[in-house]
Every structure is written in C-alpha cells, then in structure tokens.
Amino acid sequence: MHPDQSVTPTRWRVRPAVPTLKLTGAVVLVGLGLLLGGGDPVPIGVTVLAAAGLLGWAVRDLVAPERLAVDPAGVTVIRGFAGRRHLAWTQIERIVVDNRPRLGLRTDTLELDAGDSLHFFSRHDLGAEPGEVANALRAAKFSAVRTPGGPA
C-alpha cells in the first residue's frame, strides 16, 4: 500500500469452525465424564467443569467473533469477554509477530503494543496468519499517518 492510498477498513475474525469444535469438545467431555465416571462425582465434576470452560470460550467466539478491525483512524481490538477498544494509530507503538515453540510446534502471535496495554492475537483469533495481518496493519498505519488529514 502506498502512502497516497486510503486505508481500506478490514476485519479479522474467528473462523466459524473454531466455536463449533469447542462446543463439540464440551459435549464430548460431558459424555466421557458420565460414561467413564462410574457414578463417582469427582471425575464427573471435573469433566463438567472443563466442559463449562470450553462452553464459555465458545460462547465468546459466537458473541464477539471479530477480534481485530482496522480503519483510517486506527484499530479496534477485543477487550475483556466481548468488549471493544479503539486505538488511534498514534497510540500503537509496535506491531510485532512473536514466533515461539509451543508443544513441539512453532506458533506465531500478533502483538500490538499500545503503551499502556498489550493485545495478543493468534491465528485462530484472526482467521489469518499473524504475519500477514501484521504487514497489513503496518501498511495501514503508514498510509494513515502519511495521508493528508490523517493522524500526525
């Protein structure tokens, strides 16, 4: 994107398959707990508790699937369970992709540093590769900052 082009509003969201898998996992956990618990309340309680966690995580994906959005004024990020926070381009100090080994695999995480807050997004949060999203955000920030009438 060149500096003379305007910023195209773009949104990144959780893929629809992700909450479906979480909901399925919650149902399977409850089923396994009941099937293998043998009437003992401890393993049944543990599996129900784990299933409730998965259910809550899936509900968040359904209620607030959009995790990150960009517009000429800045970015909007998810905050808390399903809230939103708009960050002006001038508030964003760094856009970084952190690549770390996790469970024997390399994982990328997009990190937005807004000075007083950090915002992290995985590939599953964005429905896209964090590196691609970081490049799009950097280009949008560059374009917005360099465009007449854009942030200084």
Residue scoring higher pLDDT (73 or 7): 73
120-134: pLDDT as tens digits: 999 999 999 999 999
Spell out the residues 6+ positions from residue 3 whose beta carbon is closer than 8 angstroms to its own: 142, 143, 146, 147
41-54: pLDDT as tens digits: 898 899 999 999 99
CATH class as words, domain 10-16+65-146 = mainly beta
pTM over 0.75, yes/no: yes
Mean pLDDT of the 19-37 span: 92
pLDDT category at 2 given cuts 50, 70, 90 is very low
The set of long-range contacts for 85-91, using a CB threshold of 8 Å and a minimum separation of 24, is 85/117, 87/112, 87/114, 88/151, 89/141, 89/144, 89/145, 89/150, 89/151, 90/151, 90/152, 91/115
27-29-82 Cα angle (round to 5)? 65
Spell out the residues 6+ positions from residue 116 whose beta carbon is closer than 8 angstroms to its own: none
Look up residue 91 and give its amino acid: Q
pLDDT category at 12 given cuts 50, 70, 90 is very high
Neighbouring C-beta atoms of residue 137, cutoff 10 Å: 21
User: Domain-by-domain residue ranges, the chain?
Assistant: 10-16+65-146, 17-62
